[in-house]
Structure 1
């Protein structure tokens, strides 16, 4: 996940205050293969507007959101549910917030686009198409 984040302009994001402390604690994991994702998540949390859950708009990606997004390089549309690491299950399209895609989507709203880098250093750009709370 090598990147020059100083050159990237990222869209504004908002985070549910109920999840903020837990996400902050998760972002402090600094060993192993997720170290760079944790660093990226910390940066995202640092720039986020933290809002009470009841005021967070339903079109903003939060933990438990079902998110439809498009990968701009390929035009591929995917749908996932953003979850905490212990609830991740790729076969059920449950993607951890401690993955590059999960950390990038967190806090975005419909029609926002974000650039990020994969663990292999590849630059990706995602656009949020739909958000709804998973049941």
Structure 2
């Protein structure tokens, strides 16, 4: 797994989200919690240019299909797939948090398939 970086306030909020969602979404909340456990947590005033954060616009490539997508990573209540606003409580969203440009991550889909994404660009 690639190293990931998350700001302190986001880490707190995302940990609370993972805990509160464990009953309704056990698999994805567990994946998000695991990602946060392995993350390097930095001060909120850190310069994280090129790192996927909440609210980031992210361009990534699905390594299986070769498809390039542009999405905004958001909290669940802001999600709207028609506006390309992807919740952090989805497999793609949880996989993207904390990644830097050029990093790839492999994760499991709800259908138990392996999927791999590579971050091509990030703007905050």
Partner of 1:86: 77
- After TM superposition, the structure 1 stretch with the greater mean CA deviation from structure 2, 22-31 or 98-107, is 22-31
Deviation string 1:76-111 (CA, Å, 9 cap, x unpaired) is: 000000000000000000000000000000000000
What is residue 57 of structure 1 aligned with on the other side? 48
Normalising by structure 1, report the TM-score. Answer: 0.88
**Residues 1:42 and 2:33 aligned together:** yes
Matches within 5 A, 1:1-135: 10-28=1-19, 29-32=21-24, 34-133=25-124
The answer for unaligned runs of 5 or more in structure 1 is 1-9
1:56, distance to aligned residue in structure 2 (A):
3.7
Unpaired runs of 5+ in structure 2? Answer: none
For this pair of structures, how many residues does the alignment match? 123
Runs of 4 or more above 4 Å deviation = none
Q: Residue 50 of structure 1 aligns to a residue in which SS?
A: strand
